[in-house]
């Protein structure tokens, strides 16, 4: 176990100075400060101390309520962004890390994770994390790519397997569980040969899914997940997936991510009309990653079928929109915020190692360039994630 006394009392960090901030006057990327005097965190009895290799930034994270509420009881220091990260364990919650009853992760383990919203982020030399927030990272990709995955992939995972599956009983008849085990998987060529020998899928009606902002951080993982053989077997190729994005990303979303149909949102003022004009059937599941008027549009009867489910990661339905036919048509409509889940993250790591999920990094910056990086994130024209390299020697 690393000795806390060997770790400097202060560290390099990207952080927001004291406000006040609020919804009408939120902090801007230019508000961020990069200093070497930020207090090094002291892990509690149930936390790991982790040396950060890389962290990924999230759009609008500077305006999260948990950030605006400062000081917060669970965070006495200035907020640090970057809730996705990859790093190396420096210290564990238990003194005897080699005990059979010791901690799950050991000193020197390379991990990745997603920190809870009320926790400080990882745009710093070190970070503290609880066991539920981390998993062994996929080692077939560098730290910068690993850091870009947790929040986005966990959001898509919980949308499909926690909410769509549990609340609307969708995807359950298609999904198949798999054991992480020792995370030893056959090479892609061997898997391809095995899949050819599998029985053809039963003649079930294909699930239909709409994903908005499909080229964004969550969107790219959602589409890859729906096409993952480990999750859905041969059914994955049968799903009908409609994606929205800009024209410049259309080829990427169709060819790289496997969308069945793509709508250019700059030329599609109304999704309900677009579905009607093309004669498309309404979908079973909507994953909305935009919010605003797009969220209102996806509740149209021509977009989501009666008994279908609309999941938004952007915002809840506004009261002034009325019911939108939700109750009358039996539509499940939910806004949710992703939560840490180390077990699911371990499965996501396996999917990355099997090359069924993939990291999409738009641009990489150094920690000292945090302001510029956040400005790129807030530009809203990002394909995948923007990453900060922290300890650059650790790739």
pLDDT along the chain (395 residues), means of 10: 71 89 84 96 94 94 76 71 96 76 91 93 98 96 97 97 76 65 51 49 77 95 96 90 96 97 93 97 97 97 97 95 93 96 96 96 96 90 91 64
- Give how far the C-alpha of residue 159 lies from the chain's centroid of Cα atoms, to the nearest Å: 11
pLDDT at position 196: 44
- Phi-psi bin for 355: left (phi > 0), alpha (psi -120 to 50), beta? left
Instruction: Assess whether 190 and 295 both reside in one domain.
Output: yes
Place of tokens 């409509």: 333
Instruction: Assess whether 234 and 109 both reside in one domain.
Output: no
**76: CATH:** 3.90.180.10
Instruction: Assess whether 158 and 298 both reside in one domain.
Output: yes
CA angle 385, 389, 392 (to 5 degrees): 150
d(CA 241, CA 371): 36
**279: CATH:** 3.40.50.720
pLDDT at position 284: 95
pLDDT at position 74: 58
Instruction: Assess whether 323 and 383 both reside in one domain.
Output: no
Instruction: Please give the residue range of the domain that contains residue 121.
Output: 4-149+359-389
Q: Would residue 343 count as lying in a domain?
A: no
Contact present, 288 and 222 (Cβ < 8 Å)? no
d(CA 222, CA 188): 21
d(CA 349, CA 340): 14
End-to-end distance of the chain based on CA atoms, in angstroms? Answer: 22
Instruction: Assess whether 131 and 89 both reside in one domain.
Output: yes
- Phi-psi bin for 374: left (phi > 0), alpha (psi -120 to 50), beta? alpha
Instruction: Assess whether 133 and 207 both reside in one domain.
Output: no
**Cβ neighbours of residue 162 under 8 Å, at least 6 residues apart?**
none
pLDDT at position 6: 77
């Amino acid at each position: 176990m690393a000795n806390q006394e060997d770790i400097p009392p202060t560290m390099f960090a990207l952080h927001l100075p004291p406000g006040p901030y609020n919804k009408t006057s939120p902090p801007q990327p230019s508000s961020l400060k990069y200093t070497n005097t930020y207090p090094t965190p002291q892990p509690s009895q149930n936390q790991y101390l982790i040396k950060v290799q890389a962290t990924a930034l999230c759009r609008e994270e500077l305006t999260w309520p948990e950030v605006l509420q400062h000081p917060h009881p669970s965070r006495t220091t200035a907020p640090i962004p970057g809730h996705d990260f990859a790093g190396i364990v420096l210290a564990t919650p238990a003194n005897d890390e080699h005990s059979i009853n010791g901690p799950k992760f050991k000193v020197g383990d390379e991990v990745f994770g997603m920190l809870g919203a009320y926790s400080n982020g990882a745009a710093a030399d070190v970070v503290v994390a609880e066991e539920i927030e981390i998993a062994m990272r996929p080692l077939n990709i560098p730290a910068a790519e690993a850091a870009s995955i947790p929040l986005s992939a966990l959001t898509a995972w919980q949308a499909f397997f926690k909410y769509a599956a549990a609340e609307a009983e969708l995807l359950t008849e298609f999904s198949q569980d798999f054991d992480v085990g020792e995370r030893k998987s056959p090479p892609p060529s061997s898997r391809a040969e095995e899949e050819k020998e599998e029985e053809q899928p039963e003649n079930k009606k294909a699930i239909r899914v709409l994903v908005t902002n499909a080229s964004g951080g969550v969107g790219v993982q959602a589409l890859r997940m729906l096409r993952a053989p480990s999750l859905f077997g041969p059914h994955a190729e049968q799903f009908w997936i409609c994606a929205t994005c800009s024209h410049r990303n259309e080829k990427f979303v169709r060819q790289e991510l496997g969308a069945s149909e793509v709508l250019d949102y700059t030329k599609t003022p109304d999704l309900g009309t677009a579905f009607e004009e093309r004669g498309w059937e309404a979908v079973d599941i909507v994953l909305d990653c935009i919010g605003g008027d797009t969220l209102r549009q996806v509740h149209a009867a021509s977009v989501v079928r009666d008994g279908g489910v609309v999941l938004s990661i952007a915002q809840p339905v506004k009261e002034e929109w009325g019911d939108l036919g939700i109750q009358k048509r039996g539509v499940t409509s939910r806004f949710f915020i992703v939560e840490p889940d180390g077990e699911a993250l371990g499965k996501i790591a396996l999917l990355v190692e099997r090359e069924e999920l993939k990291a999409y990094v738009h641009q990489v910056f150094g920690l000292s360039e945090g302001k510029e990086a956040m400005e790129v994130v807030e530009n809203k024209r990002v394909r995948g994630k923007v990453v900060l390299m922290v300890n650059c020697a650790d790739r």
